[in-house]
Amino acid sequence: MIYFEKVTREYPNGTTALKDINLHIKPKEFVTIVGTSGAGKSTLLKCIYMDDKPTHGKIFVGGVDLTNLKKSDIPYLRRKIGVVFQDYKLLPQKTIYENAAFALEAAGMPTKEIKNRVPKILQLVGLSSKAESFPNELSGGEQQRVGIARAVIGQPKILIADEPTGNLDPKNAWEIIELLLKINQYGTTVVMTTHNREIVNAIKKRVITINQGRVAKDQEIGRYAI
């Protein structure tokens, strides 16, 4: 589903964020990327959803070689990939319903279909009663659940989550992880980064440890060891 072949990302200032990364993430896997701050985790994720590009090497997502992808093809790729951010990145002037619906509107989906899908996704994330609220009326955990609703409403094959629990207390963090595990059980490949040792050790999923831009460890049932 996701292949990295000798992927290196050097920035013009001389920083090497990723160095010779080889990876294969299979369909329906749940993969956690761990590493110290600055290890290259975000850069790795950004290369998957084409917010960044390798300077050497190749990345394939769903059989598509990202090296040869034109800018105009990026929206097509993004339909296969949902992205969740640490700071939620919700649209503050729009309601929760509108935030969830936005990507579908942008993709030109008929209103009738949107009206059918949004309530289902709000129910999945447990926010049916908040449809008409605005983001600043929600707790951090609730806002992140909207972030997840927005990311999966287009039924992507892959969900990327960059530190999705980074701003949350332990209880809310666990609720978010349980939601990501549920989405994974429905068949979506999940790739997330986290610094949360307790969560990594409890979920018993594949853990890839990045150290100075290299894969230091890749364990099927991994532990947080940094």
Torsion-angle region of residue 99: left (phi > 0), alpha (psi -120 to 50) or beta? Answer: alpha
93 contacts ligand ADP (rule: CB under 6 A): no
Q: Which is nearer to ligand ADP, 17 or 21 (CB)?
A: 17
Stretch that binds ligand ADP, among 35-43, 63-71, 176-184, 195-203 (CB under 6 A): 35-43
Which of 15, 111, 123, 128 forms a contact with ligand ADP (CB under 6 A)? 15
Cβ-based nearer residue to ligand ADP, 131 or 226? 226
Q: Return the closest-CA partner of residue 140 out of 102, 180, 86, 101.
A: 86
* Chosen residue from 32, 43, 86, 209 binding ligand ADP by CB under 6 A: 43
Those residues with Cβ within 8 angstroms of residue 74's Cβ, 6 or more apart along the chain or in another chain:
50
**β strands within 66-184, DSSP E:** 81-85, 158-162
Separation between Cα atoms, residue 130 and residue 138, nearest integer Å: 8
Q: Encoding tokens for residue 135?
A: 């983001």
Taking CB under 6 A as the criterion, the residue among 2, 39, 151, 161 binding ligand ADP is 39
Single out the residue of 6, 24, 27, 38 in contact with ligand ADP (rule: CB under 6 A). Answer: 38
**R_g of the chain computed on alpha carbons:** 17
Among 2, 7, 17, 176, binds ligand ADP (CB under 6 A): 17
Question: Which stretches of the chain bind ligand ADP, using CB under 6 A?
Answer: 11, 13, 15, 17, 35, 37-43
